[in-house]
Structure 1
Amino acid sequence: MFYEIRRYQARPGRRAEWVHYMEDVVIPFQASQGMDVVASFVDEQDEDGYVWIRRFEDEARREELYAAVYQHHRWKAEIGPAVHDLLIPEKSLVTRAIPTPASPMR
């Protein structure tokens, strides 16, 4: 099992709009496709920063879920374009993290 920690930068002044879109559209859509969204955060020190975490059983499941989400017609036609409008894509950072043996996240 591993976690994907995703850090995004909303376009200046649009973080509240981004959070609303994430909570009302992106997260429910991804969950409906089987994605396990663990947490969602706003950055306390960066007024446009946002972080969220997804959990995967293994790489094969991640690939399966990525295909289900990002190849879906709704993502391509509606959600993806809205995401690119609200975020600065080149400032996105994705990190994979594996829980340590004593972690309660295991």
Structure 2
Amino acid sequence: MSSLTLSTACGVVELRQYTLHPGRRDALIDLFDREFVETQEAVGIDLLGQFRDLDDADRFVWLRGFTDMAARGAALPAFYGGPVWAAHRNAANATMVDSDDVLLLRPAWPDAGLPAVAARVAQPAGVLLVRVLHLREAPDAELLTLCREALVVELKQAGALQQAWYASEPAANNFPRLPVREGEQVLVAMALFADAAATWPAEFDSQVQRWLARPTQALRLAPTTRSSLHA
């Protein structure tokens, strides 16, 4: 069971959701976990986790982090302009219908983010539950206080081993070759559970309802073999 301590090492995080051609997810995961983990880390990218969406067989979700936007601006050209991506990009892209569903995020408060990189194990377990809250405006002090003082406690009581909370990163995308969803205000809550059947606390959605611009996206994610984030 993971006992990781939260860290602010990654000041910027990408939540990347890919829609894939039917039946191609395992092919992408095999390629990704074999070729794109250490090679991204070698240029300063933190591979925080890769996941199968348990409710959509054609969705692959992953998280990567950077110290800050300047580090992102240096690391992404190094990887996507390098030999490994050049050798495998056609095979990777052939599995994808859409790879533009990307949220650029920052920790919602100090120490709210995921650790930079955790130990990988042979048989990762657990489930990462994610709520993407689509807000009318940037999260205000009242909402963040609710999260820090009440919702964090509720998730711990529900059995969450680890949590992370992110808000939209306001800086412009500094690697426009890869699009991100700009002009949106979100608050993203993540909770890692050992029990793959874990569910989100029932009261959560009603407690944040008044800040929402549209319905919340809920994800249930199972870590791949090479995922850093796992139970």
Give the structure-2-normalised TM-score: 0.42
Letter in 1 for 2:76: Y
- What are structure 2's unaligned runs of at least 5 residues? 1-10, 116-231
Q: What does residue 28 of structure 2 align with?
A: 18
- Of 12, 16, 34, the residue aligned with 1:6 is 16
- What are structure 1's unaligned runs of at least 5 residues? none
Is 1:66 matched up with 2:84? no
Letter in 2 for 1:93: D
Q: What does residue 104 of structure 2 align with?
A: 96
Give yes or no for contact 1:41–1:51 (8 Å, CA) kept in 2: yes
Q: What does residue 62 of structure 2 align with?
A: 52
Q: In structure 2, the residue corresponding to 1:62 is in which secondary structure? A: helix
Give the structure-1-normalised TM-score: 0.86
Q: What does residue 91 of structure 2 align with?
A: 82
Letter in 2 for 1:79: H
Give yes or no for contact 2:13–2:104 (8 Å, CA) kept in 1: yes
User: Whose radius of gyration is greater, 1 or 2?
Assistant: 2
Give yes or no for contact 1:8–1:50 (8 Å, CA) kept in 2: yes
Moved over 2 A (4+): none
Distance of 1:62 and 1:38 partners within structure 2:
14
Q: In structure 2, the residue corresponding to 1:92 is in which secondary structure? A: strand
Q: With CA pairs under 8 Å and 6+ residues apart, which has the higher RCO, 1 or 2?
A: 1
State the Cα distance separating 1:91 from its structure 2 match.
4.7
Q: Which is worse superposed, 91-100 or 64-73?
A: 91-100
- Percent identity of equivalent pairs: 26
Q: Which is worse superposed, 96-105 or 54-63?
A: 96-105
Q: What does residue 114 of structure 2 align with?
A: 105
Q: In structure 2, the residue corresponding to 1:97 is in which secondary structure? A: strand
Distance of 2:54 and 2:94 partners within structure 1:
23
Distance of 1:81 and 1:104 partners within structure 2:
33
